[in-house]
């Protein structure tokens, strides 16, 4: 029972590992990680730029306050209020010292934000490049899968099995033809067939004898001839058979079917 459960777990995690190692999954995960990191970097850039803008506002505000204190000190001095002018100048010096610190921080913030902008721009370009590369890799992966499927299908379509089937069919046909020839040859040698052949010969002999007797009764028996190649010249004299009947008699003698004919009238 424990081995069965362990086998199920191993098969399950094996499938999961195969899915995690799939190039599509890996590329999609890498793209998501790049986008998440870029989003975080953009948020940091926004914070840095916001801080720079705040420092810029403080610098502008402090600079304006210094200008106001300077103007007020001059007015107080013109009105003969030297103590007030001295107090305003002290405040001005304090703000000027603070302004120096603000300007230093602002310069650092400006440099940092410019670097961040460059980094963000480069990162965006890298993301675009990697996205195009991921698309190309996915296309190559799909193409490789298709080619592997086709190759597997072609491997399964080997000619060995088909040739073996053709050979088996050819052998069966050859055996069937040989068996048919053997049965035909055996049938020719059967006693029944031989007896039937003798019966046919006997029937033909009886028929020939009966035909000869019939020819004799009808006066159509073959006339004896001295030579198969000798022919009697056709003559036509007064008081003999007509030339047509003589020619017919010679034709019958030549083809071997002639016999005694009824003598023509005198």
CA 234/CA 241 separation, integer angstroms: 11
Q: Which of 20-34, 185-199, 200-214 has the lowest mean pLDDT?
A: 185-199
Mean pLDDT of 105-119: 91
Query: Residue 43 above 80 pLDDT?
Result: yes
**pLDDT tops 50 at residue 266:** no
- Residue 250 has a pLDDT of 79
Q: What is the pLDDT confidence band of residue 86, given thresholds at 50, 70 and 90?
A: very high
**Architecture (CATH level 2) of domain 2-149:** Orthogonal Bundle (1.10)
Q: Which tokens sit at 104?
A: 């230093």
User: What pLDDT does residue 206 have?
Assistant: 78
CB atoms within 10 A of CB 27: 18
The predicted-structure confidence for 220-237, as pLDDT tens digits, reads as follows: 766 555 444 444 444 444
* Whole-Å CA distances, 189 to 113, 178, 192, 254: 114, 17, 9, 41
Is residue 19's pLDDT more than 60?
no
DSSP lists the bridge partners of residue 126 as: none
Q: Is residue 55 a contact partner of residue 105, using CB atoms and an 8 Å limit?
A: yes
At 242 the three-state DSSP class reads coil
Yes or no: say if 264 and 241 are a contact pair by the CB < 8 Å rule.
Answer: yes
3-state class (DSSP) for residue 259:
strand
pLDDT at 90 over 60: yes
């Amino acid at each position: 029972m424990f081995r069965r459960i362990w086998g199920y777990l191993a098969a399950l995690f094996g499938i999961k590992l195969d899915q995690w190692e799939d190039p599509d999954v890996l590329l999609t995960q890498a793209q998501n990680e790049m986008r998440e990191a870029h989003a975080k970097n953009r948020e940091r850039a926004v914070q840095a730029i916001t801080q720079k803008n705040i420092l810029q506002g403080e610098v502008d505000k402090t600079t304006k306050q210094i200008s106001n204190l300077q103007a007020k000190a001059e007015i107080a001095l013109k009105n003969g209020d030297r103590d007030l002018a001295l107090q305003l100048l002290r405040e001005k010096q304090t703000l000027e010292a603070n302004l120096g610190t603000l300007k230093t921080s602002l310069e650092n913030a400006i440099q940092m934000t410019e670097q961040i902008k460059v980094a963000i721009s480069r990162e965006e370009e890298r993301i675009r490049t990697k996205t195009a590369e991921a698309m190309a890799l996915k296309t190559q992966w799909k193409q490789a899968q298709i080619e592997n499927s086709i190759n597997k299908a072609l491997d399964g379509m080997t000619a060995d099995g088909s040739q073996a089937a053709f050979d088996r069919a050819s052998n069966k046909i050859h055996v069937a033809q040989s068996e048919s020839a053997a049965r035909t040859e055996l049938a020719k040698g059967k006693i029944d067939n031989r007896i039937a052949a003798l019966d046919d010969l006997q029937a033909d002999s009886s028929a020939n004898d009966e035909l000869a007797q019939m020819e004799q009764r009808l006066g159509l028996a073959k006339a004896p001839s001295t030579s198969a190649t000798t022919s009697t010249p056709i003559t036509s004299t007064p008081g003999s058979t007509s030339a047509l009947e003589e020619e017919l008699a010679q034709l019958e003698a030549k083809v071997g079917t002639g016999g005694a004919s009824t003598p023509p009238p005198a």
